[in-house]
Amino acid sequence: MSMEKIDFSKIHFLIVDPNRLMGTMIRDVLVTLDAHHIDRARNLEGAVTILRQGRTDVLITEWDLQAEQNGMDLVSWIRNDAGSPNRLLPVIMMTANSEIEYVVRARDAGVNEFVAKPYTVQSFYTRLAAAIARPRQFVRVDGYFGPDRRRKRDDAYEGPERRVEADGQR
């Protein structure tokens, strides 16, 4: 896979992780990628305060925020709450909860990309680049609003779950 060059210097990131060391490690990787605008929060309330300022371009959140609310609650607020400043915000879930059930739940909540801890800089960059340079189209279907959960388009599929474009075309 070739790595496209992305200018991270103008992108505003928000890292949400209760672990100060992990938050610093993620920030350091972003700085290495030439990111200059990095905000940090340790919990959902802090994240919402920063998000309401309207300058965040990419959110990187931990699943476990060590509080009553977690990263999935934050994703739900972003995607579904009328008070969300950007329902289309790219969200990267970065967590040690890497079992398939967590990946599926994150996908079904509207997470754009999933990075399992421990991660490599390459795996983080690949997911970050996908969220920024190759974003999936957002869809609204029964009980879901977020990035299209299908990564590939299958024009040959004619089954009952076939998506229909707004103009009725398949």
Q: Is the peptide bond preceding residue 118 cis, with omega within 30 degrees of 0?
A: yes
Whether 12 is in a domain gets the answer: yes
Whether 153 is in a domain gets the answer: no
Query: By residue range, what is the domain housing residue 16?
Result: 8-147
- 140-156 mean pLDDT: 75
Give yes or no for residue 135 having a pLDDT over 60: yes
Give yes or no for residue 167 having a pLDDT over 60: no
Contact 146, 160 (CB under 8 A): no
* DSSP label of 54: T
pLDDT digits (tens, 9 = 90+) for 47-77: 999 999 999 999 999 999 877 889 999 999 9
pTM of the model: 0.85
The CATH number of the domain where 56 resides is what?
Answer: 3.40.50.2300
Count of structural domains within the chain: 1
